[in-house]
């Protein structure tokens, strides 16, 4: 056999080896791409949800002889992990006061829950680029949008914290609202007992929406 024969044979073997290596790399790349695409696809459609979010309302004035606060344990929230859209809704009658008379006045005279049964918020996370809902950790979030209470809609911005862990998202936030902005009229007889600004605290644990 000539030298050319062995040279050609070696070149053929080398080409086959290179082709084998290339195919292995291609298969690894395709597998990695598939896994990445699958994860991205799951994340792209991910929404988080709860029906038992906690919303606390506190309008206790400094001169008030008693606490004027209430808690709802039935707020609904949906968070879209892709665009950061946030939606909240809470039934006004869902707020529970310590005293039944206070709750009656809250529903009938101030918030008129028969006419305006819900308070809602529709907005989004403004700094979504600083929040990674796919990675465990606690993130400072700025949420902006429109809140509707007592039939009045106002722009609002609130700071809060989003804690990601175990596939769930925990939401904590606090902000103040001016009662007069939402046409909540306080009789002059009790105006010194009810704060002009109410403190709102939000606490909710969101789970992936099926």
Residue 178 and residue 185 in contact, taking contact as beta carbons nearer than 8 Å: no
Cα gap 208→121, rounded to integer Å: 20
What are the CA-CA distances from residue 12 to residues 1, 5, 21, 23, 25 (Å)? 16, 11, 14, 16, 20
Q: If you write DSSP's letter for every residue of 169-185 in order, what string do you get?
A: EEEEEEEEEEGGGGT--
What are the CA-CA distances from residue 87 to residues 7, 84, 146 (Å)? 72, 10, 10
Q: Which residues of the chain have pLDDT under 50?
A: 3, 5-6, 9-10, 14, 26, 29-44
Cα gap 65→141, rounded to integer Å: 36
Task: Please name which of 114, 109, 123 lies closest in space to residue 154, comparing C-alpha atoms.
Answer: 123
Count the neighbouring beta carbons within 10 Å of the beta carbon of residue 196.
14
Give the predicted TM-score (pTM) of the model: 0.76
Task: Please name which of 176, 105, 169 lies closest in space to residue 138, comparing C-alpha atoms.
Answer: 169
Cα gap 169→207, rounded to integer Å: 7
What is the predicted pLDDT for the residue at 209?
Answer: 85
34 phi-psi bin (left φ>0, alpha ψ -120 to 50, beta other) = alpha
Report CA dihedral (160, 166, 167, 168) to the nearest 10 degrees: -40
Task: Please name which of 144, 162, 149, 76 lies closest in space to residue 117, comparing C-alpha atoms.
Answer: 149
**Cβ-based burial of 174 (10 A; exposed 0-12, middle 13-18, buried ≥19):** middle
Cα gap 167→79, rounded to integer Å: 13
């Amino acid at each position: 056999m000539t030298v050319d024969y062995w040279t050609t044979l070696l070149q053929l073997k080398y080409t086959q080896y290179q082709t084998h290596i290339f195919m292995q790399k291609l298969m690894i790349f395709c597998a990695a791409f598939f896994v990445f695409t699958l994860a991205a696809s799951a994340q792209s459609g991910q929404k988080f949800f709860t029906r038992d979010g906690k919303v606390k309302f506190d309008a206790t004035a400094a001169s008030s002889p008693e606490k004027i606060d209430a808690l709802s344990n039935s707020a609904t929230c949906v968070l879209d992990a892709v665009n950061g859209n946030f939606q909240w809704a809470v039934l006004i009658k869902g707020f529970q006061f310590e005293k039944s008379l206070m709750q009656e006045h809250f529903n009938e005279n101030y918030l008129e829950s028969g006419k305006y049964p819900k308070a809602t918020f529709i907005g989004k996370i403004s700094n979504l680029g600083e929040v990674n809902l796919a990675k465990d950790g606690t993130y400072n979030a700025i949420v902006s949008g429109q809140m509707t209470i007592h039939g009045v809609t106002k722009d609002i911005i609130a700071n809060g914290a989003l804690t990601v862990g175990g596939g769930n998202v925990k939401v904590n936030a606090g902000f103040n609202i001016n009662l007069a902005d939402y046409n909540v009229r306080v009789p002059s007889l009790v105006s010194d007992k009810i704060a002009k600004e109410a403190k709102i605290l939000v606490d909710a644990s969101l789970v992936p929406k099926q």
